[in-house]
Amino acid sequence: MHTLTGTAAPVRLWTDPESVEPGALTQLRNCANLPWTHGVAVMPDVHQGYGATVGSVVAMRDAVSPGAVGVDIGCGMSAVRTDLTAGDLPDSLGRVRAQVERAVPVGRAGHREGPDLARLGIERGYDWTGFWSGFERLHHLDEASWTDADALRAKAHRQLGSLGSGNHFLELCLDGDDRVWLMLHSGSRGIGNILANLHIERAKQLPHNQALPDRDLAVFLSGTPAMDAYRADLYWAQEYARLNRRVMMELFKAALGRGLGRTVAFEPEVSCHHNYVSEETYDGVELIVTRKGAISTEGGRKGIIPGSMGTGSFIVSGLGNPQSYRSASHGAGRRMSRAAARRQFSVADLQAQTEGVECRKDAGVLDEIPGAYKDLDTVMAAQTDLVRVEHRLRTILCVKG
CA 248 to chain CA centroid, nearest Å: 15
Please state, in angstroms and rounded to a whole number, the distance separating the CA atoms of residues 250 and 400: 17
Residue 2 known to bind ligand: no
Position 142 scores a pLDDT of 84
Residue 169 known to bind ligand: yes
Please state, in angstroms and rounded to a whole number, the distance separating the CA atoms of residues 129 and 134: 9
Please list, in sequence order, all residues whose beta carbon lies within 8 angstroms of the beta carbon of residue 286, skipping any fewer than 6 positions away. Answer: 279, 280
Residue 333 known to bind ligand: yes
Q: Which among 293, 309, 307 is positioned nearest to 354, based on CA atoms?
A: 309
CA 108 to chain CA centroid, nearest Å: 17
Position 145 scores a pLDDT of 66
> Considering the domain 2-335+373-400, what is its CATH architecture?
Alpha-Beta Complex (3.90)
* pLDDT digit string (tens) for the chain, length 401 residues: 999 999 999 999 999 999 999 999 999 999 999 999 999 999 999 999 999 999 999 999 999 999 999 999 999 999 999 999 999 999 999 999 999 999 999 998 999 988 999 999 999 999 999 999 999 999 999 887 677 889 999 999 999 999 999 999 999 999 999 999 999 999 999 999 999 999 999 999 999 999 999 999 999 999 999 999 999 999 999 999 999 999 999 999 999 999 999 999 999 999 999 999 999 999 999 999 999 999 999 999 999 999 998 789 999 999 999 999 999 999 999 999 999 999 999 999 999 999 999 999 999 999 999 999 999 999 999 999 999 999 999 999 999 98
Please state, in angstroms and rounded to a whole number, the distance separating the CA atoms of residues 43 and 374: 12
CB atoms within 10 A of CB 282: 15
Q: Are β-strands 11-13 and 37-47 bridged in parallel, bridged antiparallel, or unpaired?
A: parallel
Q: Which among 15, 79, 41 is positioned nearest to 314, based on CA atoms?
A: 79
Q: How many residues appear in the chain?
A: 401
User: Three-state DSSP class for 317?
Assistant: strand
Residue 6 known to bind ligand: no
Residue 51 known to bind ligand: no
- In what side-by-side order are the strands of the sheet with 387-399? 270-273, 76-85, 179-186, 169-174, 387-399, 313-318, 302-306
Position 189 scores a pLDDT of 96
Please state, in angstroms and rounded to a whole number, the distance separating the CA atoms of residues 266 and 253: 8
Residue 185 known to bind ligand: yes
Residue 188 known to bind ligand: no
- Does 330 qualify as catalytic in the annotation? yes
Tell me the CA distances in angstroms from 263 to 88, 91, 269, 373, 379, one per residue in order: 11, 19, 18, 36, 37
Q: Which among 161, 177, 169, 105 is positioned nearest to 311, based on CA atoms?
A: 169
Position 400 scores a pLDDT of 93
Residues 175-184 pLDDT 10s: 999 999 999 9
- CA dihedral over 38, 19, 30, 276, signed as positive or negative: negative
Q: Are β-strands 302-306 and 313-318 bridged in parallel, bridged antiparallel, or unpaired?
A: antiparallel
Q: Assign 3-class secondary structure to 243-289.
A: HHHHHHHHHHHHHHHHHHCCCCCECCCEEEECEEEEEEEECCEEEEE
Q: What is the CA radius of gyration of the chain?
A: 21
Q: Which among 173, 187, 149, 205 is positioned nearest to 80, based on CA atoms?
A: 173
- 38, 47, 111, 330: which is the annotated catalytic residue? 330
Residue 309 known to bind ligand: yes
Residue 321 known to bind ligand: no
| Contact by Cβ (8 Å): 258, 294 | no
In percent, how much of the chain has pLDDT > 70? 100
| Contact by Cβ (8 Å): 253, 172 | no
What's the one-letter identity of residue 216?
A: D
Q: Are β-strands 294-296 and 37-47 bridged in parallel, bridged antiparallel, or unpaired?
A: unpaired
Please state, in angstroms and rounded to a whole number, the distance separating the CA atoms of residues 167 and 54: 13
Please list, in sequence order, all residues whose beta carbon lies within 8 angstroms of the beta carbon of residue 384, skipping any fewer than 6 positions away. Answer: none
Domain ranges of the chain: 2-335+373-400
Residues 21-59 pLDDT 10s: 999 999 999 999 999 999 999 999 999 999 999 999 999
